[in-house]
Amino acid sequence: MASRHRSESAEEQQGRTWSVHIRFGGPLEDWMGDSLQVGCSLAHPGGDRSVLGGELPDTPALYGLILRLRDSGIEPVALCAKCESKTTPGRG
C-alpha cells in the first residue's frame, strides 16, 4: 500500500519558514536560550515559566532545535510549530 505522506523536495520547501512557540514549566535563564543558537527570543511571561518563540528558516532548523533541547536536558511543556509561506512584497 502506498504511503499517503510524501517528502517535499527542496524546491517545494523554498519560500516557507517555521513559526515556533515553545513553553517551559520553569524559568530558563537568558544564557540558556542563547545557548540554543537558533535566533529565537526567550520571554518570561510569568515568574515561574519561560517561552521561546520565533521563526526558523527550514525543517532541518526545527529538528535541530528539538535535538538541542533534548541534548541540553531542557524539557518543554508544549511545542507548537507551524509551517508558513513567506510572502514577498509586491507578490500578493
Q: What is the pLDDT of residues 50-63, one digit of tens each?
A: 999 999 999 999 99
Mean local confidence (pLDDT), 33-51: 83
CATH code at 17-85:
3.30.70.980
Mean local confidence (pLDDT), 41-52: 86
* Rounded percentage of the chain residues whose pLDDT exceeds 70: 77
Residue 7: pLDDT over 70:
no
Strands (E), 1-92: 16-24, 41-46, 49-56, 76-85
Task: Give the pLDDT confidence score for residue 9 in this predicted structure.
Answer: 53
- Closest CA relative to residue 51, chosen from 76, 88, 18: 76
**18 CB-side CA count, 13 A:** 22
Query: Could you tell me the residue ranges of all domains in the chain?
Result: 17-85
38-76 residues labelled b (16+ CB within 10 A) or e (exposed): bebebeeeeeeebbbebebeebebbeebeeebeeeebeb
Question: Where does the pLDDT of residue 36 fall: very low under 50, low under 70, confident under 90, or very high at 90 and above?
Answer: confident
The pTM score is 0.72
